Amino acid sequence: QITLKESGPTLVKPTQTLTLTCTFSGFSLSTSGVGVGWIRQPPGKALEWLALIYWDDDKRYSPSLKSRLTITKDTSKNQVVLTMTNMDPVDTATYYCAHRRPCGGDCYFSWGQGTLVTVSS
C-alpha cells in the first residue's frame, strides 16, 4: 500500500521561506521511472503543478515558479522536500505531494492528504 504525507508549517509570514516534507511508504524513489511531485490548490481554485523529482535526481519545475522552488530527495529516509522562497498571500493553498509511476504521460497515481498553508502577517 502506497501512502504519502505532507508536513510543514500551517502559517508562514510574507517573504518567509516555506519548507514542506513529503514522507512516503510503499514504493522506492530508487526505482526507475518513479517520481514524486508537488501540486497545490488555492482555496476554491484549480490544481497547479509545482515540481517533480525523478528516481535519478532529475528535476522539473513550473516555469512560473522556478526561481522560487527547490525540490530534493532523501532516498534513505523516503522523503522529498520542497522549499519555496519569498512567500506571498497568493501562495495560500493546500499543498499535495504525489507519487508518479512510470506511464506514457504525467500521471500521479497516489496522493497525500494535503496540507493547508496560509500566508499571512
Partner 1 sequence: QSVLTQPPSVSAAPGQKVTISCSGSSSNIGNNYVSWYQQLPGTAPKLLIYDNNKRPSGIPDRFSGSKSGTSATLGITGLQTGDEADYYCGTWDSSLSSLVFGGGTKLTVL
Residues that bind partner 1 in the complex, under the rule CB under 8 A: 37, 39, 46-49, 52, 60, 62-64, 96, 103-114
Instruction: Tell me the C-alpha distance between 79 and 83, whole Å.
Output: 13
Q: Which residue's CB is nearer to partner 1, number 23 or number 60?
A: 60
| Beta bridge partner(s), residue 52 | 37, 60
Closest separation in Å from C-beta 54 to partner 1: 13
CA distance 3 to 121: 33
Residue nearer to partner 1 on the CB measure, 16 or 110: 110
Question: Of the two residues 54 and 111, which places its CB atom closer to partner 1 in the complex?
Answer: 111
What are 67's three cell numbers? 526561481
Least Å from the CB of residue 13 to partner 1: 27
Tell me if 31 sits within 8 A of 73, measured CB to CB.
Answer: no
